[in-house]
Chains A and B, each alone.
Chain A
Amino acid sequence: MNIGVLALQGAVAEHIRSIELAGGTGIAVKKTEQLNDIDGLIIPGGESTTIGKLMRKYGFIEAIRQFSGAGKPIYGSCAGLIVLAERISGGEEPHLGLMDITVSRNAFGRQRESFEAELPLKGLQEEIQAVFIRAPLIEEAGPEVDILAAYDGQIVAARQKHLLVSSFHPELTEDTSFHRYFLDMVKEAEPE
């Protein structure tokens, strides 16, 4: 399975490494044409304002909406979660606006408040080591959104059909279970 990682800015190499460890093939995506060659897409962590600007500049907004419209799975971590959300708290313009959630940026505070913690995740047997870096939170989720993990009563991972998001960074750990979960979603989505 070919999994693209949007390579405009951010932790691209880490996601590619995790995908390969989980048994997929990771591809850095710099051009919209490359979306035709992949079965699933990861939008990595980075700075959402930078990634959003570069996506607009190079035609990725429309191209990824079409990719999603075809039912192909997308996973957004941290900045990727913000980019996928329909609503950004504080009135900021949404980017892809694909997932029925409202996100709050830098919700835990500044870098000194960043942390790691062990979290149970719906559908996974073992707890995962979750690394939160100036992380966003999901403030509200629509009826079609399945909540996968919460920290301190706040939503930090969720799924809506073929869309997956996490506030934390599984790509910064050795644990590949979250990436395997995404690969399973990609497998399910493949036409027979």
Chain B
Amino acid sequence: MQPGTERVKRGMAEMQKGGVIMDVMNAEQAKIAEAAGATAVMALERVPSDIRAAGGVARMADPTIIEEVMKVVSIPVMAKARIGHYVEAKVLESLGVDYLDESEVLTPADEVFHIDKHEFTVPFVCGAKDLGEALRRIGEGASMIRTKGEPGTGNIVEAVRHMRLINSQIRKVQNMSKDELYAEAKNLGVPYELLRDVHEHGKLPVVNFAAGGVATPADAALMMHLGADGVFVGSGIFKSDSPEKFARAIVEATTHYTNYKLIAEVSKNLGTPMKGIEISKLTAAERMSDRGW
């Protein structure tokens, strides 16, 4: 018996495909998310928009919150550790969390090195803005990639930019001749073997979800249309007027992302979505997507 193999870790993310992973801050929200059809929940102390509002250093959540959430739902529970914070990650693994997010939403603990994710039994998801970042994270052992987007803004534009960039870079690599791959690996700063895998298969070797700024059912469907394997929804759900209805609507729009009539139907009377922030209004220090490298 072999636990924590690459296949087991990547396979877990495959099972999330076509699904919606929702940020929750307590047991009650976790139950709402599960009942609405979430494929997993991300247990947090504060959603990204509150982290923005509060300022200061954002860290791993209180283990009490994570344990409470794990107790009440049967779907997988994810949690966030700071970039490079090996010990937060080990602590979360010891709690029995099903997936770890080494996340730029929290304040980075290391400005040079990410966590060596190979030595964990628990799988990791990491954010990426482009193909280089995605393959560096996979090289370090990430089993799932998500766009960084710009978390807590309710603005989809950055997630769209990241998804489009990753996919266009994949197409470019796919069309390269074999001898061009060595130089491209150097240009992108990625392991050659992973780049060759992308060249051969025309996709990342792990699933790629959309995250960071998904605020409406139509946003979720747009990301699926652009080739996302599934969607993370952070502040959008529990910052809306009717979280339950909103959560169900996002799940249905993700499953049937080409059925526009259905998306129209589920988008009716959802109340006000989160207000949102224009990206250009953020200062460089406020941009979470620039954390990590």
Binding site for B on A (CB under 8 A): 7-14, 30, 45-47, 49-50, 53-54, 57, 78-79, 105-106, 109-117, 131-134, 169, 172-173
Contact = CB atoms under 8 A, between A and B. Distances in A.
Interface residues of B, number: 35
B184 interface: no
Given A30-B256, A106-B74, A47 B11 contact: no
Contacts of B18: 7-10, 12, 46
Contacts of A49: 34, 37, 74-75
Nearest to B75: A47
A11 B121 contact: no
Contacts of A110: 96-98
Contacts of A12: 17-18
A9 B96 contact: no
Interface in B32-74: 34, 37-40, 74
Contact of B4 (A30, A54, A57, A112): A112
B76 interface: yes
Contacts of A134: 12, 15, 76, 98
Contacts of A115: 1-5, 8
Contacts of A112: 3-4, 93, 96, 98, 121-122
30 contacts: A8-B18, A9-B19, A9-B39, A9-B255, A11-B11, A30-B255, A45-B14, A45-B15, A46-B16, A46-B18, A47-B15, A47-B16, A50-B39, A50-B251, A53-B37, A54-B37, A54-B252, A57-B252, A79-B15, A110-B98, A111-B99, A111-B123, A112-B96, A113-B3, A114-B3, A114-B4, A134-B15, A169-B11, A172-B7, A172-B11
